[in-house]
A = this chain, B = another copy of it.
Amino acid sequence: MALLPSTMRAAVITAPGAPDVLRVQDRPVPEPGPGEILVRVRGSALNRADVLQRMGRYPAPPGVPTDIPGLEFAGEVAASGPGAERWAVGTRVTGLVGGGAHAEFLVTHQDAVAVIPEALSWEVAGATPEACITAYDALQQAGAAPGEVVLVHAVGSGVGLAVVQVGAALGCRTYGTARSPAKLDVARALGMTDGVVHGEAGWVVAAARRWTDKRGVDVCIDLVGGPYVAETVPAMALHGRIVVVGTLAGQETSLDLRYLLGKRLTIRGTVLRSRPLAERVAVTEAYARTVLPWLAAGTVRLPIDATFPLARIAEAHALMESNATTGKIALSFD
């Protein structure tokens, strides 16, 4: 540890509030515990959860820094804790954490990281895990099979675009919804078959019937929640599966049980952040096995809308809240 600094720069939430409550401050470099590694962060990205955490609406889970946001990272192994012998110093690794990635160093369990393929830059490797793991995991939970029709709400978000690309890699036909035609254009350029802009009551079922010759969609990955769930239920095919990943549009919905029973639908909720270590290890291993090779080969791409240095973290938050971006907002270090 001799060559490591004792302090690091970190994006710190000084109080709940607007983007300007974020300050880049000096913090002690964390110490890796048993089984843990210290990672020198080279790339990261923003997620909606960072904004909610900054507002005081999404506290960090136990065991992670309470005031440093950041859920994904790419970086080099800088040191290892007791018994953590898996990786040599300098190994390029990427993964998810419950928080703390918007800092120059973080600690994580040695089994909760994946080795970064050579072809991937720090910027890409740091901006893809959260979106791609969420997308792949949600599609797996939905049992999305080749030839099936997948609909994703908020297709212009990082996770939305990842569903389009990962869904296509799994052999699915993908459709999406967004608040603006420009976001649909980006998704189309990434392989989305068709999309529709948010509309009047019945807009989802109308689009789904048009796209599927009235059969309905097999899988919906819903990043929006609220009334979108109720709009989506009649748009599903027999045996359809809805996986709700986000609730930006609200936490209450109505549910018409006639469709649920008659079409034998499944609705499931999921979150990544609060999962225990064993599950975080499992989704990271799946990411290393499937999506990382696709990213390295260019089969899966995830657009980066803008990249900010850590010092401009408040601007990055403000941009995310504008809802004007399509794809990821990345963070760079140094």
Contact = CB atoms under 8 A, between A and B. Distances in A.
Interface in A239-256: 244-245, 247, 250-256
A276 B257 CA distance: 21
Nearest to A258: B251
A247 B269 contact: no
A297 interface: no
B266 A268 contact: yes
B262 A252 contact: no
A166 to B, nearest CB: 20
A265 B257 contact: no
Contact of A244 (B229, B260, B263): B260
Contact of A257 (B253, B258, B260, B262): B253
Contacts of A19: none
Interface in A218-240: 225-226, 229
Contacts of A256: 251-252
A119 to B, nearest CB: 34
B271 A225 contact: no
A89 interface: no
Contacts of A271: 261-262, 264
A254 B257 contact: no
A225 B257 contact: yes
What is the copy number of this chain in the assembly? Answer: 2
A261 B251 CA distance: 10
A256 B226 CA distance: 9
Contacts of A245: 261
A254 B252 CA distance: 7
Given A260-B244, A269-B264, A254 B255 contact: yes
B261 A244 contact: yes
A247 B261 contact: yes
A318 interface: no
A270 interface: yes
Interface string A287-315: 00000000000000000000000000000
A264 B268 contact: yes
A252 B253 contact: no
A324 interface: no
A266 B264 contact: no
A121 B230 CA distance: 47
Best-surrounded residue of A226, A261, A267 (most CB of chain B within 10 A): A261
Given A226-B257, A247-B257, A257-B225, A263 B269 contact: yes
Given A265-B269, A266-B266, A271-B264, A252 B247 contact: no
Contacts of A247: 257-258, 261
Interface of A: 225-226, 229, 244-245, 247, 250-271, 274
10 contacts: A229-B255, A244-B260, A244-B261, A251-B256, A259-B269, A261-B271, A263-B269, A266-B266, A266-B268, A267-B267
Given A229-B255, A247-B258, A261-B269, 16 more contacts: A226-B257, A250-B257, A252-B254, A252-B256, A254-B254, A254-B255, A255-B267, A257-B269, A259-B269, A260-B269, A261-B271, A264-B268, A264-B269, A265-B268, A265-B269, A266-B267
